[in-house]
């Protein structure tokens, strides 16, 4: 079968794909149809937390598939209970709602914030302040939450009540909160799709003060930054922040779909029976796989992630063609001289998979990538850039 042709014929044309058919993955490498090997610095956009065919994850999901693959949320299952307990323990949050994706985790957060605000303040306090250049998902409401015009233009009208604050001017968010009845402020600590941009300390401090002054919840979207990616369990832990609602997905599942919305004690009753649900949410196989990822994210591994990130940043910063390196841990954005598309094509042709984010090359390698592979990848990037 000509796979590319079959895609063209049968699959909706919504992605601009690289001309590669990936047939197999092992550790931090993948192979294409011709057997050519690529070191994967993308992890399926931050999903394959421990690379391909990770033994513990594979054992967890295959064992669980042989026990029970799905019930429904009308019953209790062990993997969901175990994963929730692990997440609550790692974060000091109080409750978790499981879903299937980042967008769905964010939808849950938005519904919970609006419901809490309605019960507390009455009508008119439904606005959610998000940031310009943010990305929160592709559903109508999470697109509405996304502060980037380019994603909006074809899909009006949207869910109302989202206001976008500047990221480079703390006064703007102060004005927005002061002048609008707000249900929440929602942020990514590092704007991944926005170009791997870390929010400034000043903006984070302002947001912290505003949520406290106006008694509104802070929602942190950890869909891309979560689960060890930045060298902390969640990226807000780099700062003195205590969010009320945290959303995550991607790396949590290690390769299977899962989303999670975590609630602080104050917001643990933000949703009640009948107000929210998801058929596949808490799926036993996804939860068993996720637990095998989460239980290994200890201080030693987080330190290794930080050190490997520093190594990549130092190596690439030394190149003449590299203007800057942003991000934290193994979530990095590399700004280069010259054409970004051409650079990415060159890297891939030379055997390293990389991503883009706005005007940068984005790197999201597996959290356990070995130093040998990292060195080899850096040598290829050095010659490709
Ligand atoms: C910060 C952030 N939020 C939400 C999403 C949406 O996640 P999903 O594609 O799983 O719905 C993404 C996806 O890239 C993301 O990076």
Domain edges within the chain:
3-53+299-384, 57-294
pLDDT value, residue 118: 98
Please identify, by atom number, the ligand 1 atom nearest to the C-alpha of residue 134: 1
pLDDT value, residue 303: 98
pLDDT value, residue 171: 98
- 3 is written with which tokens? 């796979």
Please identify, by atom number, the ligand 1 atom nearest to the C-alpha of residue 104: 11
- 156 is written with which tokens? 């009006």
Mutate to test the pocket of ligand 1, among 108, 250, 331 (most ligand atoms within 8 A of CB): 250
**What would the pLDDT profile of 210-235 be if each residue is shown by its tens digit?**
999 999 999 999 999 999 999 999 99
Which residues, in sequence order, are bridge partners of residue 256? Answer: 254
Global pTM exceeds 0.95: yes
Any idea which residue has 């509104």 for tokens? 216
Cα 185 to ligand 1 centre (Å): 17
Q: In angstroms, rounded to a whole number, what is the distance separating the alpha carbons of residues 276 and 97? A: 9
pLDDT value, residue 161: 98
Stated as kind and residue range, the H or E segment containing 99 is: strand 95-99
Cα 374 to ligand 1 centre (Å): 26
pLDDT value, residue 311: 98
Q: In angstroms, rounded to a whole number, what is the distance separating the alpha carbons of residues 348 and 245? A: 38
Please identify, by atom number, the ligand 1 atom nearest to the C-alpha of residue 137: 6
Cα 223 to ligand 1 centre (Å): 6
In CATH terms, 3-53+299-384 corresponds, of 1.10.420.10, 3.90.120.10, 3.90.1150.10, 2.30.110.10, to: 3.90.1150.10
Query: How far apart, in Å, do the first and last CA atoms of the chain sit?
Result: 35
pLDDT value, residue 167: 98
57-294: which CATH topology? 3.40.640
Beginning with the edge strand found earlier in the chain, give each strand of the sheet holding 37-40 in spatial order.
22-26, 29-32, 37-40, 352-353
pLDDT value, residue 180: 98
- Determine how β-strand 182-187 pairs with β-strand 218-221: parallel
pLDDT below 50 — which residues of the chain?
A: none
Q: In angstroms, rounded to a whole number, what is the distance separating the alpha carbons of residues 251 and 22? A: 20
């Amino acid at each position: 079968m000509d796979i590319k042709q079959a895609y063209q014929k049968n699959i909706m044309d919504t992605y601009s794909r690289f001309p590669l058919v990936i047939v197999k993955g092992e550790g931090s490498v993948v192979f294409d149809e011709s057997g050519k090997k690529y070191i994967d610095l993308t992890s399926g956009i931050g999903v394959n937390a421990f690379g391909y065919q990770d033994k513990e994850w594979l054992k967890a999901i295959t064992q669980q598939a042989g026990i029970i693959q799905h019930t429904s949320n009308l019953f209790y299952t062990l993997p969901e209970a175990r994963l929730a307990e692990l997440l609550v323990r790692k974060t000091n949050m109080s409750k978790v709602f499981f879903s299937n994706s980042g967008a769905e985790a964010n939808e849950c957060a938005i519904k919970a914030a609006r419901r809490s605000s309605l019960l507390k303040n009455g009508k008119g306090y439904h606005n959610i302040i998000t940031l310009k250049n943010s990305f929160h998902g592709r559903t109508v409401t999470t697109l509405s939450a996304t502060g980037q015009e380019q994603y909006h233009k074809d899909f009006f009208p949207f869910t109302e009540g989202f206001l976008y604050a500047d990221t480079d001017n703390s006064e703007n968010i102060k004005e927005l909160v002061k002048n609008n009845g707000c249900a929440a402020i929602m942020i990514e600590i590092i704007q991944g799709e926005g170009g791997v941009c870390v929010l400034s300390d000043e903006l984070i401090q302002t947001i912290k003060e505003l949520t406290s002054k106006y008694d509104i919840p802070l929602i942190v979207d950890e869909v891309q930054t979560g689960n060890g990616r930045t060298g902390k369990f969640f990226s807000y832990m780099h700062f003195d922040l205590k969010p009320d609602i945290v959303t995550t997905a991607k790396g949590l599942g290690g390769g299977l779909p899962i989303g999670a919305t975590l609630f602080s004690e104050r917001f643990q009753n933000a949703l009640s029976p009948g107000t929210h649900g998801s058929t596949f949410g808490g799926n036993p196989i996804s939860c068993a796989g996720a637990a095998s990822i989460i239980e290994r994210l200890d201080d030693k591994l987080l330190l290794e992630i930080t050190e490997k990130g520093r190594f990549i940043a130092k190596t690439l910063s030394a190149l003449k063609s590299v203007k800057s390196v942003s991000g934290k841990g193994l979530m990095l954005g590399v700004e280069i001289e010259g054409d970004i598309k051409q650079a990415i094509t060159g890297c891939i042709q030379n055997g390293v998979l990389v991503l883009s984010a706005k005007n940068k090359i984005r790197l999201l390698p597996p959290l356990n990538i070995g130093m040998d592979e990292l060195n080899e990848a850096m040598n290829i990037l050095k010659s490709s850039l």
